[in-house]
Amino acid sequence: MHRANDYYGHSAVLARYCGVPDELPPRIHGYLQHGWNIGDGMAGDHEWVAGVPLFLWSERTRRRAWSLGRRHTYVVGAPIAYLMLLDPAPADAPREGTIWYPFHGWEGQHVKGDHDRLIDQIRSTEPGPVTVGLYWQEYKTPSVCRRYEDAGFRVICHGYRGDARQLGDAGFLEGQLAELRRHRRVASNRLSSAVWYGILAGCEPAVYGDPMTLENEDPTHGGQARIRRQWAELHGEQVDGAVARAAAVEELGADRLAPAAELRRLFRWR
Amino acid sequence: MTQRQGGTGEVRLLGGEMLNWSDLDGGHGPGPVRGSAAGSFLGVARGRTLIAGPHDPSLLDRVPGATVLVRGVQDAELLAGRGDVTVLCGSVAKLGGEAPFDTIIALAGLECLGTAEHDELTWAEALDALHGVLRPGGCLVLGVENLGGFHRQIAWPRPLDDGQWTPVSDETRPAGLRHLRAAVGAATRAYGIYPGLRDARVVVDEQATGGVVEAALGRAYEGSGVVLADPAAVAVEFVRQGLGVAAAPAWVVIASDDEAALPDVPVDGSAGPVGPTLESLVLRAAGRRNMPQLRELLGQWRNGVAAGVPAGQVVVAASGELVPLVPEGAHSVAVAELAARLYRGGFPHPWVGVRSAAELAGMLEAMTGGPDAATSVPGGDAASSPLVGAAVSVVELVAERERLAGELAEARAQAAFFEEELNAREAEVRQVRRTVELLSGSGPARAGQAFVGGVRAARRVLRRRT
């Protein structure tokens, strides 16, 4: 229905899970949540249309969406959780260092904050080598890349997520999962999808440093202050692994994944 | 007192009898007491027994040698023809001269013991007439419609039948079970009867609860006509709330002046597996949006001994074991029935985008990852079930109307959205075409155009030939 369903290769991962191979990802009858958020699960650029199903990641999001008037919702879990079923982690793969995701804005947004101070903090906190995962916009900006490279970090980008007219990079999510599985820790200055993914992929999480401010940030759902209140135990340089794991399973709906036949019917992929 | 010859036995006409009347043939009113549960109450007969009022003749076989009181001469003659009964015909008010009875059974109620020929009896007078021929220490087994029963709240208005010549009960009729028990005897037991005295299939006491009772209620109301709300669902909810006796359509009270003389009557749910029905667990899991539990329940059902048994007729024991209460049929039909139950009646089912009970049946199968779920046509295997898509109550019709109105509004919103999308795509296509036209001014593009033109010409030629 919405091309955002294809962002990060989400629809392609689910098509693979459902055994629906196609050159183009098939059209999902509904909106698939494509990132973790504290609203109704939809991104700001989704044009909500009455009666169109919202496929959400977690029961908490479903309850919240209902309270916000969204009735046609169904929890399917996050695509990354399906990907982890499809591509199980190799048993004895070595893990090293930290993958660090500096908070980014999306297209048309600008982040304000002190990157140098953040870099110092990362360097003094992380015990091993650091990989910095940048959003494609930042990755394309040489000055931003250079700043992290000069700090001795390895700088990567998982690719282009896609937009309404153009498909994103195939294998976005696969690449991200592979990177996460190579690292012992996942960290960010904001609790975000990438951190949840990392926890589910077996990384020790950490959320610390200046969360930075985003131009035109929508305060409706309480923003960063609310996230810090609600998931206080996930913030800090060291976080309880079991607590984090349980929270990630819940937020990504990893305990609520649907069988392929059920997804095919939900998405009208028959 | 006159005597009339029946087929093989005698009929004693007491006075007040109705000549052109039968309660047993159902032509003038609701017919006699029937139903599997009625037999349990005839089973309590001890000693000299009077069965007063219309009871299905087959029930009388349980009490050989009983005395029967009916008001219609046709019924009296019919019963006399069966033998092994003493048949009295006339008004209950004329019983006075009879020798006392050890047991009096009047399951059809006191209202049908009076006759059109005799002065109108009050409810209390009719009861007194029965008490007058009950031996001290004897038992009275009396059926009473519950005027506050749930059945009256969900029934269509009905024209009065031939027996309702005085359609409203008098002021001596006890209001509520407490007053009824006080009126009938010093020691009493009370039972709730479903769906009613004329079709007594389920007997409950105050302790009634659990899947076996709910399953019995489900069976009892199978095929009941269209009423204001689904009677089985309402009855189950009352039983669940501990109101199984209080809200029952009818009661049977057993009364005596001696507590020790009160017999025990088997009630539904007192035997059999203990636990809720699979249907109730599925409804709860669906309502609570507990999809993992739902998938597990459905899978357990499909892959176990209860496959093909309607979910309302499967009890989930404390051990988690599924215990079927009735024989199995085709699983697809059982799933279709469950889907119909989930889909109808405004139940807040969680499946988005599902637009029919048949589609929902396919979804339920898919949730178990069933092997045929991927290939079967949605609803194809379910369409044969008679329950699918059939609203059984006015409440459901209203709910369905609301749903359809909502779906229409949504469909319009979606059509508007698609039109906008279409406009945007068309604008893009126009722009792309302009770009292509601009680029086609180049040499290689012209060669390409010539080639395409050739192909088009060839195709035109071919088309003309066919």
Over residues A163-220, the pLDDT tens digits come to: 777 788 888 999 999 999 999 999 999 999 999 999 999 999 999 998 887 776 777 7
Comparing B261-270, B349-358, B431-440, B456-465, the range with the smallest average pLDDT is B456-465
Tell me: do A208 and A114 sit in the same domain: yes
Q: What is the pLDDT of residue B375?
A: 40
What separation, in Å, do the N-terminal and C-terminal C-alpha atoms of chain A show?
15
On whether residue A156 sits in a domain, the answer given is yes
Tell me: do A33 and A80 sit in the same domain: yes
Q: Which residues in chain B are closer than 8 Å to A54, comparing Cβ atoms?
A: 352
Mean pLDDT of A234-256: 96
> Of B352, B368, B414, which is closest to A49 when you measure between CB atoms?
B414
Residue A68: CB atoms within 10 A of its CB come to 13
Q: What is the pLDDT of residue B377?
A: 39
Cross-chain residue pair B289–A262, CB shorter than 8 Å = no
With CA atoms as reference, the chain A residue closest to B411 would be: A51
Tell me: do A83 and A126 sit in the same domain: no
Q: What is the pLDDT of residue B464?
A: 66
**H-helix or E-strand spanning residue A154:** strand A154-156
Residue A37 DSSP symbol: -
Q: A46, A48, A49, A257: which to substitute to probe chain B, counting the most B Cβ within 10 Å?
A: A49
- Quick one: which of B327, B215, B211 has its CA closest to B274? B211
Cross-chain residue pair B367–A258, CB shorter than 8 Å = yes
Instruction: Kindly state whether A261 is in contact with chain B, defined as any CB-CB distance less than 8 angstroms.
Output: yes
Percent with pLDDT over 70 in chain B: 90
Residue B61: CB atoms within 10 A of its CB come to 14
Cross-chain residue pair B292–A256, CB shorter than 8 Å = yes
Q: Which of A:162-191 have CB within 8 Å of B?
A: 165
Q: Which residues in chain B are closer than 8 Å to A74, comparing Cβ atoms?
A: 350-352
Cross-chain residue pair A51–B409, CB shorter than 8 Å = yes
pLDDT, tens only, B110-163 = 999 999 998 889 999 999 999 999 999 999 999 999 999 999 999 888 889 999
Instruction: Kindly state whether B19 is in contact with chain A, defined as any CB-CB distance less than 8 angstroms.
Output: no
Tell me: do A241 and A125 sit in the same domain: yes
On whether residue A93 sits in a domain, the answer given is no
Instruction: Kindly state whether A47 is in contact with chain B, defined as any CB-CB distance less than 8 angstroms.
Output: yes
State the total domains in chain A: 2
Q: What is the ipTM of this complex?
A: 0.83
User: Domain range holding A103?
Assistant: 98-251
Instruction: Kindly state whether B103 is in contact with chain A, defined as any CB-CB distance less than 8 angstroms.
Output: no
Report the gap between the CA of A200 and the closest CA in chain B (Å): 19
pLDDT, tens only, B283-319 = 999 999 999 999 999 999 999 999 999 999 999 999 9
Given a cut of 80, whether residue B388 has pLDDT beyond it is no
Tell me: do A142 and A238 sit in the same domain: yes
Strands B187-196 and B199-204: antiparallel
pLDDT, tens only, B169-205 = 999 999 999 999 999 999 999 999 999 999 999 999 9
On whether residue A92 sits in a domain, the answer given is no
Cross-chain residue pair A261–B370, CB shorter than 8 Å = yes
Cβ B196 vs Cβ B217: under 8 Å: no
Given a cut of 80, whether residue B20 has pLDDT beyond it is yes
CATH number reported for the structural domain that contains residue A139 in this entry:
3.40.50
Cβ A132 vs Cβ A154: under 8 Å: yes
Report the gap between the CA of A26 and the closest CA in chain B (Å): 16
Instruction: Kindly state whether A49 is in contact with chain B, defined as any CB-CB distance less than 8 angstroms.
Output: yes
> Of A59, A256, A266, which is closest to B353 when you measure between CB atoms?
A266
pLDDT, tens only, B172-182 = 999 999 999 99
Given a cut of 60, whether residue B383 has pLDDT beyond it is no
> Of A74, A258, A261, which is closest to B374 when you measure between CB atoms?
A261
Q: What is the pLDDT of residue B391?
A: 55
Residue A64: CB atoms within 10 A of its CB come to 19
Instruction: Kindly state whether B413 is in contact with chain A, defined as any CB-CB distance less than 8 angstroms.
Output: yes
pLDDT, tens only, B324-341 = 999 999 999 999 999 988
Tell me: do A73 and A107 sit in the same domain: no
On whether residue A130 sits in a domain, the answer given is yes
Report the gap between the CA of B416 and the closest CA in chain A (Å): 9
| Length reported for chain B | 466
Tell me: do A222 and A257 sit in the same domain: no
Three-state DSSP class for residue A258: coil
Q: Higher-confidence residue: B456 or B173?
A: B173
Instruction: Kindly state whether B414 is in contact with chain A, defined as any CB-CB distance less than 8 angstroms.
Output: yes
Tell me: do A160 and A75 sit in the same domain: no
CA–CA separation, A13 and A19 (whole Å): 10
Tell me: do A242 and A232 sit in the same domain: yes
Mean pLDDT of B414-421: 90
Instruction: Kindly state whether B348 is in contact with chain A, defined as any CB-CB distance less than 8 angstroms.
Output: no
Residue A6 DSSP symbol: G
Q: Which residues in chain A are closer than 8 Å to B359, comparing Cβ atoms?
A: 265
Tell me: do A115 and A44 sit in the same domain: no
Cross-chain residue pair B410–A50, CB shorter than 8 Å = yes
Instruction: Kindly state whether B379 is in contact with chain A, defined as any CB-CB distance less than 8 angstroms.
Output: no
Q: Which residues in chain B are closer than 8 Å to A72, comparing Cβ atoms?
A: 352-353
Instruction: Kindly state whether A75 is in contact with chain B, defined as any CB-CB distance less than 8 angstroms.
Output: yes
Q: Which residues in chain A are closer than 8 Å to B295, comparing Cβ atoms?
A: 258-259, 262
Q: A57, A265, A267: which to substitute to probe chain B, counting the most B Cβ within 10 Å?
A: A265
Phi, psi of A114 (to 5 degrees): -100, 100
Q: What is the pLDDT of residue A162?
A: 83
CA–CA separation, B233 and B357 (whole Å): 18
Tell me: do A125 and A196 sit in the same domain: yes
Report the gap between the CA of B294 and the closest CA in chain A (Å): 11
Tell me: do A138 and A202 sit in the same domain: yes
Instruction: Kindly state whether B373 is in contact with chain A, defined as any CB-CB distance less than 8 angstroms.
Output: yes
Q: Give Cα B419 distance to the centre of its chain.
A: 47
Report the gap between the CA of A12 and the closest CA in chain B (Å): 18
Report the gap between the CA of B37 and the closest CA in chain A (Å): 43
Given a cut of 90, whether residue B37 has pLDDT beyond it is yes
